[in-house]
A = this chain, B = another copy of it.
């Protein structure tokens, strides 16, 4: 089944304790679609400038990603520049040049409008809503957001949250959005707003998935080498949605497996800069790491 993702395609300049890369391929839609493409057909909606090299488009297409929705307009591609300290948990943004993103009015090609899965990556919630309205009958919609929209457009964001099936945000954003320090309480408040399911990303501590009745905790894969956390969240979302689109299983069990696939994909992505690890990743590695995740978390039940 097919997934449409709307988000950014960007040039990133990233500095970590392990090195620096300038103007490398990045952006939420890029990470998401590359990750999801291991499991399902993906169609991408984003905007780039005249400076965006054809080789990056070729790469996306080589992954069977439909780039009919990748608009090229006059101007420069969106640029993000950030730095991570040794703990690698949170990026310090050094510079953001929106460039062509300022004129981004996502319009879905007709062929996209029957998509069954839709991922609204972190963009202006008004644009997220606009895209949501263009897709006729999606089976499952998920969205991400960030602190900037939480503080600048909380009402537009609430409208989006009420219309999607799964909200995927960072732990600190869940706290910021609700003003509630206790994460379980924050999750309950966000679910009370009208979203059915909340996935809270906690970086190296893994993921919590909440519904009104259930909680699921998945650890992050304990890695000896983390080079660059950029794109981990979108890579996670790509594995999660990709697996759901692949199986069509939206049960609690199916969603839990999807969380693990998302975690597996994110664990690979951080092993190298930009999408370098994704580019050389093979499906059998994904399978092997899924099994390792099972071994990592498994414990025997008790009969009392």
List the interface of chain A (C-beta within 8 A of B): 86-87, 181-185, 188, 202, 204-206, 208, 215-219, 222-226, 253, 256-257, 259-260, 287, 290-291, 294, 296-302, 304
Contact B299 A226 (CB under 8 A): no
Which residues of chain B are near A260, meaning CB under 8 Å? 299
A213 to chain B, nearest CB (A): 11
Residues in chain B near residue A218, CB distance under 8 A: 297, 299
CB pair B217–A256 under 8 Å, yes or no, is no
How many copies altogether?
2
Contacting pair A223 B296 (CB below 8 A): no
Find A299's partner among B182, B215, B257, B302 (CB 8 Å cutoff). Answer: B257
The answer to whether B224 touches A184 (Cβ under 8 A) is yes
Query: CB-CB < 8 A to A256: which residues of B?
Result: 298-300
Chain B residue with the shortest CB-CB distance to A220: B217
* Other-chain contact of A300, B183, B204, B253 (Cβ < 8 Å): B253
> With the chains together, A294 CA to B216 CA distance in Å?
10
Contact status A226-B259, CB under 8 Å: no
Q: How far is it, in angstroms, between the C-alpha of A42 and the C-alpha of B184 when the chains are bound?
A: 35
A1 CB to nearest B CB, Å: 18
Which residues of the partner chain B approach A225 to less than 8 Å between Cβ atoms? 182
What would be 30 A-B contacts, judged by CB atoms less than 8 Å apart? A86-B181, A182-B223, A182-B225, A182-B226, A183-B204, A183-B222, A184-B222, A184-B223, A184-B224, A185-B224, A188-B224, A206-B219, A208-B222, A216-B297, A216-B299, A217-B222, A217-B296, A218-B297, A218-B299, A253-B299, A253-B300, A256-B298, A256-B299, A257-B299, A259-B299, A287-B302, A287-B304, A290-B302, A291-B301, A294-B301
Classify the secondary structure of A's interface with B.
mixed
CB distance from A34 to the nearest CB of B (A): 21
| Extra inter-chain contacts (8) besides given A206-B217, A208-B222, A291-B301, CB under 8 Å | A184-B222, A188-B224, A217-B222, A217-B297, A218-B297, A290-B302, A294-B299, A297-B297
Residues of B within 8 A of A253 (CB): 299-300
| Chain B residues with CB below 8 A from A87, complex form | 181
User: Which residue of B has the minimal Cβ distance to A287?
Assistant: B304
Q: How far is the CB of A61 from chain B (nearest CB, A)?
A: 27
